[in-house]
Amino acid sequence: MAFTPGFVDGVAKAVNDGGTVAVGFVRPQNGDYYASIWTQATGMMPLVEYLALRGVTVPAGHIPTICTGISADGNTIVGYTGQFETGPIRGFIATIPEPWVAPLFGLLLAMRRRRR
């Protein structure tokens, strides 16, 4: 398995029903764990980077540490933030919007402005 540059190991914890998306964590040498995602198109990469590419912003101070599950369609990911040694541990749910949602929202907003 090829890792994102800078990472030396990782583990897949869950795979979607089609086997097209895997989630888990990666770790840089001498570093903390980072939640990760793998697709054939992207390879293994930190979840935060993957989400940013899809318009999802992770709140400041909440770095996903490990992904523990993924929905059948691969668009909803669960896991936790924080480290057991340093706490606190918090769960997270990340939902990746469908690619058509943002353009549709823009179209609806433009139509609403036009009506006025």
Residue 4 has pLDDT above 70, yes or no: no
What are the C-alpha distances in Å from 100 to residues 36, 41, 106, 107, 108?
A: 24, 19, 10, 11, 12
Share of the chain above pLDDT 70, in %: 77
Query: What are the tokens at 4?
Result: 């994102």
Q: pLDDT class for 27, splitting at 50, 70, 90?
A: confident
User: Does pTM surpass 0.85?
Assistant: no
Taking the mean position of all CA atoms in its chain, how far away is CA 46?
Answer: 7
